[in-house]
Amino acid sequence: MLPVNSTRSIFSTFLVVGIPGLEAVHIWISIPFCAMFFITLVGNVTIMMVIWKEQTLHGPMYIFLAMLAASDLGLSLFTFPTMLRIFWLDARELTLSACFTQMFFIHTFQDFESAVILAMAFDRYVAISRPLHYSSILTNSIIARIGLAIFVRTLTVQVPLPILLRRLCFCHSNVLSHSYCLPPDILKLSCSNTRINSIFGLFAVLSNMGVDFLLILLSYVLILKTVLSIASHGSRLKTLNTCISHLFAVVLFFTPVICLSVLHRFGPRLPSHIYVLMANIHFLIPPVMNPIVYVVKTKEMRDKILKLFIKKGTGESQVAFIS
């Protein structure tokens, strides 16, 4: 995406790693990763296709779900293939330009997903606190503006990161400690002054995912306040049940990030493969689990998917019979 003046660096490529200490069993490890990648592709593409085709699913909740599926799909397409190349072919080399491009798209989709999860929290708050005004508050125009705001905010923060990295030279080493390119990992290898990069990187994380997480917590405080004002115990449980899928998405996305940050800064020094596995969980598990959770927990989505495949299967059978 961005050209790199490699004459300023001793190294013109980076080397990514698989799972340290488990290189001998990379082929076996690749089997569950292949299954996860397949589930991710099928699950998220199916969700987007069903929401696109079914007019009854063109409501705020499902539009945000389609946006979540799109961000999950994008994140997977820039992480899984690199890992599988390492596991299958031991292909570890990435040029500086390829590395910075991958880093840009990984963090773009990551920030986009964080913002979409926040938008979904707002959707749940409006649906529970203002049910009679839900459709008038979350109109198509408002949803489009939210989507545009997410897009602009994400690019505004992420575009400068590879530009700032381009000015650095790399001479300490060219071996990264993860299976893909991440800014803190790259900065460790630089022999230039990285203060600006570190400050801007911290600002990017706090202003995006940090703020999103706090606003999501605030949304659920307000949701709980509304739920506790409901007299019937059964109605409380029914109302909270509408948030279960979203809560799973919040936990799956934010828990690994928080745990990894705490361990890096305050925890005991653990073997490197523990950090690699936790980073993999953060980037790889949400795209796999989100479509499963939403299909299992959302009856309307599940029914529409079953209807689509049954209809498709019936159509193919009729064509075969006529032939």
Domains in the chain: boundaries = 15-322
Beta-bridge partners for 190:
170
CATH architecture, domain 15-322: Up-down Bundle (1.20)
Q: 25 is written with which tokens? A: 């069993």
Task: Select the more confidently predicted residue: 221 or 1.
Answer: 221
Query: How many helices (DSSP H) and strands (DSSP E) are in the chain?
Result: 14, 2
The DSSP bridge partners found for residue 170 are 190
Give the residue with greater pLDDT, 318 vs 153. 153
Task: Flag whether pLDDT at 317 surpasses 60.
Answer: no
Q: Residue 270: what pLDDT?
A: 67
Structure tokens at 226: 């509304």
Least-confidence region, from 167-171, 219-223, 284-288: 167-171
Eight-state DSSP code of residue 231: S
Query: What pLDDT sits at residue 51?
Result: 92
Q: Given a cut of 50, is residue 76 above it in pLDDT?
A: yes
Q: Is 111 exposed, middle or buried (0-12, 13-18, 19+ CB in 10 A)?
A: buried
Query: So what's the pLDDT on residue 116?
Result: 96
CB under 8 A, 24+ apart: contacts of 280-285: 280/83, 280/179, 281/256, 282/253, 282/256, 282/257, 283/75, 283/79, 283/106, 283/110, 283/180, 284/33, 284/36, 284/76, 284/79, 284/80, 284/83, 285/252, 285/256
Determine which of 91-105, 223-237, 245-259, 274-288 has the lowest per-residue pLDDT on average: 274-288
Does the structure show a pLDDT above 60 at 2? no
Range 45-58 average pLDDT:
90
Residue type for 175, please? V
Letter string b/e over residues 121-157, b meaning 16 or more CB atoms within 10 A of that residue's CB = bbbbbbbbbeeeebeeebeeeebeebbeebeebbeeb
Average per-residue pLDDT for the chain: 85
Q: What is the mean pLDDT of residues 275-291?
A: 84
Global pTM reads 0.88
Model confidence at 319, pLDDT cuts 50, 70, 90, reads very low
